[in-house]
Amino acid sequence: MARTNQIILLLLGVGLLFRSIIAFWLPPGFDEAYYYIYTQHLDWSYFDHPPLVALTTGLGVWLTGFVSQFTIRLGSLLIYTATLYFLYRATLHLFSARAGILTVAIASTVPIFQLVFGTFTLPDVPLMFFWSLTMWVAAYEFFPEDGFEYRPTYRLAILGLLVGYACLGKYHGFLLGFGLVGFCLTSRQHRVALVSPWALLGLILFIITFSPVLYWNWQHDWVSFRFQSNRSVPDRRYNIVNAFETALFGSAYMFPTFGIPLWWVGLRSSWVTIKSWISAPRLPVVPFLVWVSMPVVLIFTVIGGYQQLLPSWTMPGFLAATPLLGWRASVWEERHPKAVRRWLVGSAIAIASLMLIALLHVTAGIAQKPGNYAIFGGFLTPQKDASVELVDVLQLQRELAASPQMLAALRQADFVFSNRFHLSGHVAMAIAPLTSAPVTCFDKRDVRGFAFWSTADQWVGKTGIYITSNRFQIRENSAAGYAPYFQQFTKLGDVPLRRGGVIIERFHVFQGTTLVKPYPRPAL
């Protein structure tokens, strides 16, 4: 057992170190910068997500007093390490120590798991922490170590609490609760759990835990539920090819050597579970793992046939299915140890290499043409490179601070705004140590949470600083749309951002003196 613990600690430590390198160097993504704004407006819930992402994003900032891509991700780095540990404990109890080790090895290597659950600050991070914790507690509840006939225990109440916390992370948590209920309904020996007083207490604890989101939505006309449900309602004809592409792209994001086996083991185990409804399953833990994983995968894959999905939407189900693949890998390893070792080590080397190459390009421009660090002269111009939209907020901060005129204007401004909700997040991170002026978003189409963090007329009579990127100013002249709302609207200058010694982006800074009328907001 000591040897097993050493291997698990090594896997967790190496994974944490690798993800920390990415977190330190990779500029913040659109959603990440936006979630930083959550930390400036702590509330019971938010327009587009439940509240826990605000706490996980703010953890590193509050601990260090410094705003950067690394500090807003510090919570994710630590929490995913705990997520992997509880995933190991669940697999250890359900199968074996070797299956647990292989599960952690796989979950530590799959690239989209590393990024979405373990590096970026996203609502998926607290969701999967409580998901894996729920799996661990449920494993002990439904499959007691003594092997005797199942009897409901106090753990059912704890499960209600944990599912509530998962829902505070992301609304996907409801599918975790659905899976637990579905498992109990379809398992003869576990149906008694649904009529247990402990289950009733669990339901009460779930409602209490989730009540902050209900309270916030009750105050705001249930806008969060309306927003999320509208994203899953068909707005076009169903296309089976799109659903197939959703599955295909999901496999690619997980890397084919893991994505294809995860699909295979998930579908095969689902078929075994369906057959178990007729006859008792040979291994009852398989239906349990299917119910807490595959509903997410299958439901969102089907939705992909009529609605464009984010790659992360199916991934909670795949991570929850990882113990099934770890178990199967432990069986394969007994027969073909070298093949399994080559599969894991080869995949890990390939994935780490590709991720580091991508990181080097995003941060140093090794494929950029022109660029001081370009390999073989580069081949990708900044104009055709989507990675330039990842804003180096610390470089933007330094450039703003280096301009006496811009720095003075920022410190004198009543508020700062941009024209997209994610750009407002990048701007807020950049100016955090330079000024205490609040940041908002002026956009007639989509202001997200900014609609609840201020009122439309709050800024009337005040002076604002408008900051936007080349994409919106040079191509669209976005500043022209704001000038009529101010008594005076003048450009202070622009701020170049460099990569590989070459300017790849410019941010344009304007000063609007005295807002004379509220800027229109979209209907929610």
Domain CATH number, residue 415: 3.40.190
Pair 248, 156 in one domain: yes
Pair 445, 325 in one domain: no
Q: Inform me whether the pLDDT recorded for 115 exceeds 90.
A: yes
Q: Inform me whether the pLDDT recorded for 464 exceeds 70.
A: yes
User: Is 246 part of any domain?
Assistant: yes
* Spatial CB neighbours of 518, under 8 Å, sequence gap ≥ 6: 456, 457, 459, 460
* Spatial CB neighbours of 472, under 8 Å, sequence gap ≥ 6: 419, 420, 423, 478
pLDDT value of residue 232: 63
What residue has token string 């003869």? 188
User: Is 523 part of any domain?
Assistant: no
User: Is 487 part of any domain?
Assistant: yes
Mean local confidence (pLDDT), 306-328: 94
Q: Inform me whether the pLDDT recorded for 312 exceeds 70.
A: yes
Mean local confidence (pLDDT), 455-467: 95
Pair 428, 310 in one domain: no
* Chain segment 475-505, per-residue pLDDT in tens: 889 999 999 999 999 999 999 999 999 999 9
Q: Inform me whether the pLDDT recorded for 236 exceeds 90.
A: no
Across the chain, mean pLDDT equals 94
User: Is 362 part of any domain?
Assistant: no
Mean local confidence (pLDDT), 298-326: 93
Residue 234's pLDDT band (boundaries 50, 70, 90)?
low
Pair 341, 425 in one domain: no
Q: How many CB atoms lie within 10 A of CB 143?
A: 15
Counting other chains too, the contacts that 88-91 makes at CB distance below 8 Å and 24 or more residues apart are 88/8, 89/136, 89/139, 90/132, 90/135, 90/136, 90/138, 90/139, 90/323, 91/323, 91/326, 91/327
Pair 121, 65 in one domain: yes
Q: Provide the domain count of the chain.
A: 2
Question: In this structure, is the dihedral angle defined by the CA atoms of residues 377, 378, 384 and 390, taken in order, positive or negative?
Answer: negative
Residue 313's pLDDT band (boundaries 50, 70, 90)?
very high
pLDDT value of residue 129: 98
User: Is 178 part of any domain?
Assistant: yes
Q: Inform me whether the pLDDT recorded for 231 exceeds 70.
A: no
pLDDT value of residue 233: 65
User: Is 357 part of any domain?
Assistant: no
Residue 122's pLDDT band (boundaries 50, 70, 90)?
very high
Contact by Cβ (8 Å): 65, 114:
no
Pick from 319, 349, 379: which residue ends a domain? Answer: 349
Mean local confidence (pLDDT), 179-201: 95
Q: Inform me whether the pLDDT recorded for 322 exceeds 80.
A: yes
pLDDT value of residue 523: 82
Measured between alpha carbons, how far is residue 258 from residues 252, 269, 321, 412, 494 in Å? 9, 16, 12, 54, 45
Pair 95, 229 in one domain: yes
Residue 309's pLDDT band (boundaries 50, 70, 90)?
confident
The radius of gyration computed from the CA coordinates of the chain, to the nearest angstrom, equals: 25
Pair 134, 195 in one domain: yes
Closest CA to 363 of 508, 497, 506: 497
Mean local confidence (pLDDT), 364-375: 93
Pair 329, 393 in one domain: no
Amino acid of residue 127: L
pLDDT value of residue 61: 97
* Chain segment 56-100, per-residue pLDDT in tens: 999 999 999 999 999 999 999 999 999 999 999 999 999 999 999
pLDDT value of residue 95: 96
DSSP string, 489-500: EEEEEEEEEEET
User: Is 166 part of any domain?
Assistant: yes
Contact by Cβ (8 Å): 90, 323:
yes
pLDDT value of residue 78: 98
pLDDT value of residue 399: 96
* Chain segment 22-46, per-residue pLDDT in tens: 999 999 999 999 999 999 999 999 9
User: Is 15 part of any domain?
Assistant: yes
Contact by Cβ (8 Å): 362, 127:
no
pLDDT value of residue 235: 61
Pair 77, 179 in one domain: yes
Q: Which structural domain, as residue segments, surrounds residue 280?
A: 2-349
Pair 395, 319 in one domain: no
Pair 400, 264 in one domain: no
pTM of the model: 0.95
Pair 323, 403 in one domain: no
Within 13 A of 188's CA, how many CA atoms are on the CB side?
7
Q: Inform me whether the pLDDT recorded for 147 exceeds 90.
A: no
At 487, is the secondary structure helix, strand, or coil? strand
* Chain segment 501-511, per-residue pLDDT in tens: 999 999 999 99
Mean local confidence (pLDDT), 308-330: 95
Residue 231 CA to residue 367 CA, distance in Å, equals 36
